[in-house]
């Protein structure tokens, strides 16, 4: 048995209580592997790379029982202008530089290139505007479609969003029972706006706490 075959059997054995079959599990591992290879160096792809995705809120946590792969991601924004952005990202210990164009409908151009981890770390820590966003990306297979559930940590702790990448905008998407409202294109759920909203909430809480502390300091003793 190959190392890949052993990994499939070991991983699937942990999910035997779920509805995912061994063939489905093996297929998803192959899809994830191919996706990661593409993300590592899209410059080798001759066709114009286009990202087509839909985004959803989660209805419950039942998706956790069918997760087959998870990666730790760290994102930093290097530049943003008129819907275009340049991002540095770490997939576990691998760094990538991504350029995204403005969205048209569900689609946008996306160019992602692998860069040395040492370069990525300098860019992430010294040249990113705003906060570095951390999350765990969980991969789930629904039929023949791969879903990615992003569970945020740190500044955006508690935010969980699901995405499904599509080959075409009109591709039919089977929605599992753990999916709730679709938020594709909703400004509130763009990462940059989630960060702004959380910072605003934290600043407001800090002002309220300072005001309460000041009021207590001036309150006469009984």
**Non-local CB neighbours of 189 within 8 Å, separated by 6+ positions:** 55, 161, 183
Please name each of the domains of the chain with its CATH number.
3-218 (2.40.320.10)
Q: pLDDT tens digits, the chain, 222 residues: what are they?
A: 555 455 554 454 544 445 556 666 566 666 666 555 555 544 444 356 899 999 999 999 999 999 999 999 999 999 988 889 999 999 999 999 999 999 888 899 999 999 999 999 999 999 987 778 999 999 999 988 999 999 999 999 999 999 999 989 999 999 999 999 999 989 999 988 999 999 999 998 888 888 887 777 766 665
Please give the Cα distance from 83 to 9 (Å, whole number).
43
Rg (CA), the chain: 21
Please give the Cα distance from 98 to 112 (Å, whole number).
4
Q: According to the 3-state scheme, what is the secondary structure of 148-167?
A: EEEEEEHHHCCCEEEEEECC
Judge whether 38 and 46 are in contact, CB under 8 Å. Answer: no
């Amino acid at each position: 048995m190959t190392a890949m075959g052993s990994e499939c059997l070991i991983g699937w054995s942990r999910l035997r209580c779920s509805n995912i079959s061994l063939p489905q599990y093996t297929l998803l591992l192959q899809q994830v592997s191919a996706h990661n290879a593409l993300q590592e160096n899209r410059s080798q792809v001759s066709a114009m790379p286009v990202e087509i995705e839909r985004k959803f809120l989660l209805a419950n946590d039942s998706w956790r029982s069918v997760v087959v792969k998870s990666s730790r991601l760290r994102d930093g924004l290097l530049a943003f202008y008129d819907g275009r952005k340049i991002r540095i990202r770490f997939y576990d210990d691998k760094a990538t530089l991504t350029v995204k164009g403005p969205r048209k409908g569900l689609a946008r151009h996306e160019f992602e290139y692998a860069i040395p981890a040492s370069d990525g770390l300098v860019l992430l820590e010294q040249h990113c505007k705003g906060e570095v966003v951390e999350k765990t990306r969980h991969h789930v297979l629904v039929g023949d479609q791969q879903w990615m559930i992003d569970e945020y940590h740190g500044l955006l702790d508690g935010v969980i969003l699901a995405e499904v990448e599509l080959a075409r905008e009109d591709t039919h998407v089977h929605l599992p029972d753990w999916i709730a409202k679709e938020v594709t294109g909703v400004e509130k759920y763009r990462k940059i706006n989630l960060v702004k909203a959380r910072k605003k909430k934290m600043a407001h809480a800090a002002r309220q706490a300072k005001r309460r502390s000041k009021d207590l300091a001036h309150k006469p003793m009984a």
